């Protein structure tokens, strides 16, 4: 098992980034309409997060909100050493959900006419990408149609064992270094013609925010999103490896099966695309405000609900599923828009129907970073969308 940077992009896209099952499909076109969501099946929701053996996990929490019903539940321990149970205000690493905050900020700048989504990123960040790269527009970064390759070559840690992962927990990366190791190869396809999920797209998007505003991208997110919405438990940690305040610990299973605490971990390797910390409550407030138009004017928000044209497909041939900042999946006929996230010891999601009638945020703490994580994700997705037995 290879734990290097390219694998992180792969796992984020294929394991956490998509609910991979025949029951879950990308929505097509702009925003596919969903049927009415069923009443909440609290028994199924409880069962979905209570099984901490499939996958092996130390804790889980799930918040369901919206006009179609509300529920919150937890299982497991936030801290195995103290035995502390999970609490509603416990913070956790949200991984690639960070991208929704970055995309919101870029789309705000576009609405302010400070960024043009159809202008190549090379215009804003001259000299950063290889000279032989075709123009890549800002919009193509946001919806993962840039064609950028993955990280390869010298300087990319090959973390092939969990022990190696923890050896690199204090590594510090700069965004420039992340770009450098991710652009050694040619573009994988002509920008705009296909779609492939790549974290480097959002490293560049965050660098764009900094270039245009003159401020750290985390400061812009704080000023534009966190403070206006009162998201006091959400933060952009930068080089700080700790989660401050009440939080859930993340653990990794070592090669001999023992668990090691992986909570303290420098997140600069996920700069701009996966480093943020939050809570289920803050994420719910964020996605509710975003979808209701409190953060973006309607033309900009529409771009978050618009997938590429049908002729643009994922590199594996499946339909495109990423818009500018969000991903769309349909589960049992119910279409959700949102984002999943993954860091070592953490797996999370923030999703909502477009009308906000059903919103859900979850976080669980898998001890293995592999495809087994989808087991809990799929249980939760099924419980959110199926009618309870006996209901018609």
H helix count then E strand count, the chain: 13, 14
Residue of 4, 34, 65, 96 marked catalytic: 96
Share of the chain residues as helix, strand and coil, in percent rounded to the nearest 5: 30, 20, 50
Q: What is the torsion angle, in degrees rounded to the nearest 10, for the CA atoms of residue 236, residue 168, residue 365 and residue 25? A: 80
- Alpha-carbon distance 27 to 211, whole Å? 34
Task: Please confirm, yes or no, whether 96 is among the known catalytic residues.
Answer: yes
Cβ neighbours of 74 (radius 10 Å): 22
Contact between 68 and 291 (Cβ < 8 Å): no
Beta strands at 71-79 and 334-343: parallel, antiparallel or unpaired:
unpaired
- Alpha-carbon distance 199 to 292, whole Å? 27
- SS3 at position 194: strand
Task: Output the CA angle 219-223-225, nearest 5 degrees.
Answer: 110
Helix (H) / strand (E) containing 47: helix 42-50
Tell me how long the chain is: 392
DSSP state of 14: I
Q: Which residues are catalytic?
A: 96
């Amino acid at each position: 098992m290879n734990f290097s940077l390219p694998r992180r992009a792969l796992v984020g896209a294929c394991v956490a980034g998509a609910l991979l099952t025949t029951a879950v499909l990308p929505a097509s076109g702009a925003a596919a309409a969903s049927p009415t969501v069923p009443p909440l099946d609290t028994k199924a929701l409880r069962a979905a997060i209570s099984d901490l053996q499939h996958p092996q996990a130390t804790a889980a929490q799930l918040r369901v909100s919206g006009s179609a019903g509300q529920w919150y539940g937890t299982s497991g321990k936030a801290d195995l050493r103290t035995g502390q149970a999970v609490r509603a205000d416990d913070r956790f690493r949200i991984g690639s959900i960070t991208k929704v905050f970055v995309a919101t900020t870029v789309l705000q700048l576009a609405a302010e006419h400070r960024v043009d989504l159809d202008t190549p990123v090379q215009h804003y960040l001259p000299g950063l990408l290889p000279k032989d790269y075709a123009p890549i527009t800002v919009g193509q970064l946001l919806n993962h149609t840039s064609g950028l390759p993955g990280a390869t070559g010298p300087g990319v840690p090959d973390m092939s064992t969990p022990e190696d992962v923890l050896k690199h927990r204090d590594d510090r990366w700069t965004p420039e270094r992340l770009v450098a190791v991710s652009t050694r190869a040619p573009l994988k396809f002509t920008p705009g013609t296909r779609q492939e999920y790549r974290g480097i797209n959002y490293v560049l998007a965050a660098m764009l925010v900094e270039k245009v505003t003159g401020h750290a991208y985390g400061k812009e997110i704080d000023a534009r999103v966190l403070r206006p919405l009162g998201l006091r438990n959400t933060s952009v940690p930068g080089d700080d490896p700790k989660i401050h305040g009440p939080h859930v610990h993340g653990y990794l299973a070592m090669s001999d099966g023992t668990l090691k605490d992986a909570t303290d971990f420098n997140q600069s390797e996920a700069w701009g695309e996966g480093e943020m910390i939050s809570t289920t409550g803050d994420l719910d407030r964020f996605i509710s405000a975003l979808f209701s138009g409190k953060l973006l004017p309607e033309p900009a928000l529409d771009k978050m609900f618009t997938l590429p044209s049908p002729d643009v497909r994922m590199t594996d041939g499946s339909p495109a599923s990423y818009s500018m900042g969000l991903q769309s999946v349909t589960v049992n006929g119910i279409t959700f828009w949102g984002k999943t996230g993954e860091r070592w010891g953490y797996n999370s999601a923030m999703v909502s129907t477009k009308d906000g009638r059903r919103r859900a945020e979850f976080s669980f703490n898998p001890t293995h970073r592999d495809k087994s994580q989808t087991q809990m994700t799929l249980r939760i997705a099924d419980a959110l969308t199926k009618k309870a037995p006996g209901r018609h």
